[in-house]
Amino acid sequence: MRDSRIGTFGVLALIFTTGIKAALLAGFLGPGLAWAALLAAAVLSRAVMPALMYRLAPARADGLGHASGRPDGAGVLTALGLAAAAAFACLGPAAGALALGMAACAAGIVGWLARRRLGGYTGDVLGAAQQAAEAAVLIAAGAFAT
């Protein structure tokens, strides 16, 4: 992970996540719903990162993950609360709740894998959690798009 060059698995992850997001966005009935889903996905996927940083320890004593610090509980709740409010405003209550739950599940799975395999989080883990949560939110929004 310290190597700044992207490897085979990194390229595959980018191709698959971009393809999944493009396919989901193409399935929305109109551009307004696509924009709302993109906004909700951006907000929710970034709000799960402080929660991971709060729940997990950094995997290393150096690196970007450790250098970013550790948020306090109030900051985590504020980030999640604002993101939930934005998701509910963009997607409605049912789709917003599903999107919030799926973002939390996606980030939780990435966090579980990171703790198991690396002993904590790194900057790459936070980026992977953000991408997984973003795709999960778009899937949730797509479930209500028809």
pLDDT in tens, 131-143: 999 999 999 988 8
Burial class (CB in 10 A: 0-12, 13-18, 19+), 41: buried
7: tokens are 């490897």
Could you tell me the residue range of the domain that residue 121 belongs to?
Answer: 8-143
pLDDT category at 21 given cuts 50, 70, 90 is: confident
Predicted local distance difference test score (pLDDT) of residue 4: 61
> Which of the 8 DSSP states describes residue 121?
B
**Is 34 among the domain residues?**
yes
- 121-130: pLDDT as tens digits: 888 889 899 9
What value does the mean pLDDT take over residues 36-65?
89
Mean pLDDT taken over the chain: 87
Phi, psi at 121, each rounded to 5°: -105, 155
Does residue 1 lie in a domain region? no
Q: Considering the domain boundaries, does residue 63 fall inside one?
A: yes
Residue 76 lies in a domain: yes
User: 50 in a domain, yes or no?
Assistant: yes
- pLDDT, residue 146, reads 60
Residue 126: inside a domain: yes
Which pTM was predicted? Answer: 0.86
Query: Which among 77, 24, 30, 29 is positioned nearest to 55, based on CA atoms?
Result: 77
Share of the chain above pLDDT 90, in %: 54
- pLDDT-derived band at 3 (thresholds 50, 70, 90) equals low
